[in-house]
Amino acid sequence: PQAAAPLLEVVGLRKVFGGLVAVNDVSFAVDRGEIVGLIGPNGAGKSTTFDLITGISPPTAGEIRFGGEAIAGERSRAVARRGIARTFQHVRLVPSMSVIENVALGAHLRGRAGALAGITRLDQAEERRIFAEAARQLGRVGLGEMADRPATSLALGQQRIVEIARALCLDPVLLLLDEPAAGLRHREKAELAELLRRLKGEGLSILLVEHDMDFVMGLTDRLVVMEFGTKLAEGDPATVRANPAVIDAYLGG
Ligand code: ADP
Ligand code: MG
């Protein structure tokens, strides 16, 4: 890895679904220690961009570099092992499992046996190691006391933080969060922002998709704005918010 290269660099990224250009020649970068917001109206191509970066689907064209190394087209497990972890736009907790079991699924993904180990037999030492790691990450995000509760008995804001704990089990360098604040109450958003600032302080870099301008304003170092698959604007949050094209996209969209 080249120390001088940006942590994540996306160049000319493109994704076509049939006749629809979901992501159209998008370029941006995330530097080490930054929180970058990826914003824009519904259908702008934000989640698709996350899917391309994390190997859920391959780009039609373009380059993705992580620490200077080309990763476009790699499978999602390989990308995760490089140090990119993500959450999804819709909460993906297993309802029949406890909080800590859900978090442990992240640690399973990192292990030798992979996700299948989560539902098959593991040797006891490996099992203990995985649950210890899950407990450590739950404590890190402040939900240690919820470990044995059924996952879906938690408030939505806490469920989203459980998903962040699961992603942290992969020991990422870069966290991609797809609308982590969607549907949260004011107080839950404030708690989430505080957690993300703390993770940044611990050396993590974060790229997050968000709709709520107020949420990103106080939290992000930089914003990238997408509309209809293309990059509309980029810059510091205050400048981007005052950009007439961005105001149009939000009010007219
Ligand atoms: P955003 O996250 O910004 O709301 P998406 O990335 O989810 O936007 O979607 C961008 C566009 O790509 C939308 O028009 C959406 O319908 C389309 N799209 C996303 N995923 C697929 C897919 N798997 N197949 C076909 N079209 C898709
Ligand atoms: Mg989306």
186 and 220 in a common domain = yes
What's this model's pTM, rounded to 2 decimal places? Answer: 0.93
In the chain, the number of structural domains is 2
Question: Are 45 and 113 part of one and the same domain?
Answer: no
User: Which tens digit of pLDDT belongs to each residue from 58-75?
Assistant: 999 999 999 999 999 999
**Mean pLDDT for all residues in the chain:** 91
Q: Is the pLDDT of residue 251 over 80?
A: no
Question: Does ipTM come in above 0.90?
Answer: yes
Q: What is the CATH number of the domain that holds 14?
A: 3.40.50.300
Q: What is the mean pLDDT of residues 14-38?
A: 97
Residues with CB under 5 A from ligand 2 (ion): 46-47, 89
User: Are both 1 and 79 inside the same structural domain?
Assistant: yes
Query: Is 3 a residue whose pLDDT tops 90?
Result: no
Answer whether 43 contacts ligand 1 (Cβ < 6 A): yes
The tokens of 50 are what?
Answer: 């996350």
Residue type, 154: L
Residue from 13, 20, 51 whose mutation best tests the ligand 1 pocket (most atoms within 8 A of CB):
20
Closest atom, ligand 1, to C-alpha of 44: 3
Q: What angle do CA 190, 196, 198 make, to 5 degrees?
A: 105
Q: For 225-234, write each residue's pLDDT tens digit.
A: 999 999 999 9
